[in-house]
């Protein structure tokens, strides 16, 4: 500021004073006089990065789709890894409604092999009766099974366990019940004329087959015949094939013959020949 001329003040542009400092030698911070000295901490904390920041922002915005894609791939990999672990350990979660009127659920942990592989089933549940000849015997597979391997056991209808009788009855390891041929003197109604049932049991539970009637009959000679019948001319004569009562339950008529000629069904408007012989087939 100077002495004013002509009764006023004369304004001059004056710059602010600048300070200079000398830095310690060897630090690389020497500055020329009139410049502002910055400390190393200030240099690191406040770098001149205005242009670099704008460039990084543009790069970041340009790479946003790639970043989101990487996150999506990572989530998919994590989900696949979790599913693989669940598959290896064989454990899964099943949601079962606890109450139809409520929204709550019960969470159960079930082994996948129990859900997929473990099961019990019937092979032939309609089997109810088995008749066999004493001279042939019979092998009766258990009508139930399971996967994985199920334990098969035979019982009498009374619930008694089946035991082996040498040369008479035997239960094989695969669950087959075998009754061997036997003579009439070895007949035992407790074995050869009784009700049996089989059970299959594994991790899935236990099932019981229906009772099966097993009955042995003796092969013996028998003869079938036709009784004479009398009838008026023009009337119908009914003939019957007579089968011995001892084998009647196991023998059925398969054909009628006359003079070694099989008789076929007659026409609706004619008369058939009079049969003289019936043929029966059985054990």
> Which pLDDT belongs to residue 102?
37
- Coil, strand or helix at 85: helix
What is the enclosing helix (H) or strand (E) of 153?
strand 151-156
What count of residues does the chain have? 283
> Which pLDDT belongs to residue 82?
79
C-alpha span between 96 and 118 (Å, rounded): 19
Greater model confidence, 87 or 9: 87
> Which pLDDT belongs to residue 258?
78
> Which pLDDT belongs to residue 26?
47
How many CB atoms lie under 10 A from the CB of residue 170? 16
Residue 241: name the closest of 219, 223, 260 by CA: 223
> Which pLDDT belongs to residue 30?
52
Which is it for strands 119-122 and 144-147: parallel, antiparallel or unpaired? antiparallel
> Which pLDDT belongs to residue 140?
92
> Which pLDDT belongs to residue 265?
63
Residue with tokens 């019937």: 122
> Which pLDDT belongs to residue 139?
93
DSSP designation for 184: G
Which is it for strands 252-258 and 261-262: parallel, antiparallel or unpaired? antiparallel
How many CB atoms lie under 10 A from the CB of residue 144? 25
What is the enclosing helix (H) or strand (E) of 192?
helix 189-192
Residue pLDDT, tens place only, 157-166: 888 988 899 9
What's the mean per-residue pLDDT of the chain?
A: 72
C-alpha span between 20 and 11 (Å, rounded): 27
Lowest mean pLDDT among 25-34, 145-154, 156-165: 25-34
> Which pLDDT belongs to residue 143?
86
Helix axes 64-89, 50-62, angle to 10 degrees: 50
C-alpha span between 86 and 55 (Å, rounded): 46
Mean pLDDT over 144-163 rounds to: 88
Q: What ranges in 5-124 are assigned the alpha helix state H?
A: 40-45, 50-62, 64-89, 112-116
Report residue 224 as tokens.
Answer: 């079938």
282 — pLDDT class (breaks 50, 70, 90): low
Greater model confidence, 3 or 55: 55
Contact predicate 282/247, CB 8 Å: yes
- Whole-structure pTM over 0.75, yes or no? no
Sequence-distant (≥ 6) Cβ neighbours of residue 71 within 8 angstroms: none
Residue pLDDT, tens place only, 186-199: 888 899 999 999 99
Greater model confidence, 232 or 53: 232
Give how far Cα 37 sits from Cα of 15, 20, 33, 126, 127, Å.
Answer: 19, 7, 10, 104, 106
At 252, give phi and psi (nearest 5°). Answer: -130, 150
> Which pLDDT belongs to residue 97?
44
Mean pLDDT over 120-135 rounds to: 85
């Amino acid at each position: 500021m100077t002495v004013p001329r002509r009764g006023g003040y004369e304004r001059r542009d004056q710059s602010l004073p600048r300070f200079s400092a000398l830095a310690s030698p060897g630090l690389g911070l020497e500055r020329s006089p009139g410049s502002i000295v910055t400390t190393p901490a200030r240099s690191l904390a406040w770098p001149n990065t205005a242009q670099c920041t704008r460039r990084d922002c543009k790069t970041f915005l340009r790479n946003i789709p790639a970043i989101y894609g990487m996150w999506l791939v990572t989530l998919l990999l994590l989900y696949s890894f979790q599913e693989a672990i669940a598959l290896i350990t064989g454990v899964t979660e099943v949601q079962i409604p606890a109450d139809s009127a409520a929204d709550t659920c019960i969470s159960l942990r079930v082994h996948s092999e129990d859900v997929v592989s473990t099961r019990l089933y019937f092979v032939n549940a309609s089997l109810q009766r088995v008749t066999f000849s004493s001279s042939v015997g019979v092998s009766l597979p258990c009508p139930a099974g399971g996967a994985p391997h199920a334990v098969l056991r035979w019982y009498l209808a009374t619930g008694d366990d089946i035991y082996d009788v040498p040369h008479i009855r035997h239960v094989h390891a695969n669950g087959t019940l075998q009754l061997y041929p036997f003579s009439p003197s070895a007949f035992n109604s407790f074995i050869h004329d009784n009700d049996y049932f089989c059970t299959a049991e594994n991790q899935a539970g236990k099932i019981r087959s229906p009772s099966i009637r097993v009955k042995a009959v003796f092969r013996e000679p028998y003869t079938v015949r036709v009784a004479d019948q009398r009838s008026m001319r023009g009337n119908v004569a009914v003939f019957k094939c007579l089968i011995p009562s001892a084998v009647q339950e196991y023998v059925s008529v398969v054909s009628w013959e006359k003079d070694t000629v099989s008789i076929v069904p007659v026409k609706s408007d004619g008369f058939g020949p009079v049969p003289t012989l019936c043929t029966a087939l059985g054990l």
